[in-house]
Amino acid sequence: MNTKKFSDAMSELDTKYIDEVIGYKKKKEQKPVWVKWGAVAACLCLMVVGGIMFAQNSGNIVPNPNPVQIPNPMIPVTSVEEMEKYLDFDVPVLDKEVESYYVLVENSYPTMGQINYTDGSNFRMQYGSGDISGIHGGTLEESEDIEGVKVEYYQYTDTTYAIWEQNGFTFSYVYTNDGSADIETIIQQFK
């Protein structure tokens, strides 16, 4: 549309309509009264709840839960005989000086026996299969068959250990010197 046509079209408009448009004010749509009062009530509720929560926490009250004691998963025992009473199976013992005896508990049931020797070695035994040494990340150095039992020797940093399975039990032996003679003794005792 060019300016001449626009001007002609505007001149044809009745001034009465133009005055009416200028004086027209769009009516605002009003919300119902209950919406206004509902919003005010919600704000008051939030303020009351916030005030109550603030008042409860402002007294420097420190929660005082009852202390919880976790049961020790290791039961110290004084002898192999006492260990065997807990475990219900015979535990082979090396002819070395013993530092300590432990029964390890799993799910409130004694499952594993551990003997720590004064030379730094330790022996573990339990029903089942798998590695019970408690050492993760060891490298398999060699495997050996001792009297029909496959023994695997592992190395982890400065620790050498062996694991094997025999007659439904799994064993681990962590040793400081050459431990193959000790392992052979344990295997012979458990036949």
What CATH topology corresponds to 74-189?
Answer: Protein Transport Mog1p; Chain A (3.40.1000)
**DSSP E strands, the chain:** 74-77, 98-106, 109-117, 122-127, 139-146, 149-156, 159-166, 169-175
pLDDT tens digit sequence for 89-132:
999 988 889 999 999 998 888 999 999 999 999 999 999 999 99
Question: What is the full per-residue pLDDT of the chain (191 aa) written as tens digits?
Answer: 577 777 777 676 677 777 777 776 666 667 777 777 888 888 888 888 887 777 666 566 666 667 766 667 899 999 999 999 999 899 998 888 999 999 999 888 899 999 999 999 999 999 999 999 989 889 999 999 999 999 999 999 888 999 999 999 999 999 887 777 888 888 888 77
Nearest to 75 by CA among 111, 102, 100, 98: 102
DSSP structure class, residue 62: P
Does the reported pTM lie above 0.75? Answer: no
Q: Name the residue ranges covered by the structural domains of the chain.
A: 3-57, 74-189
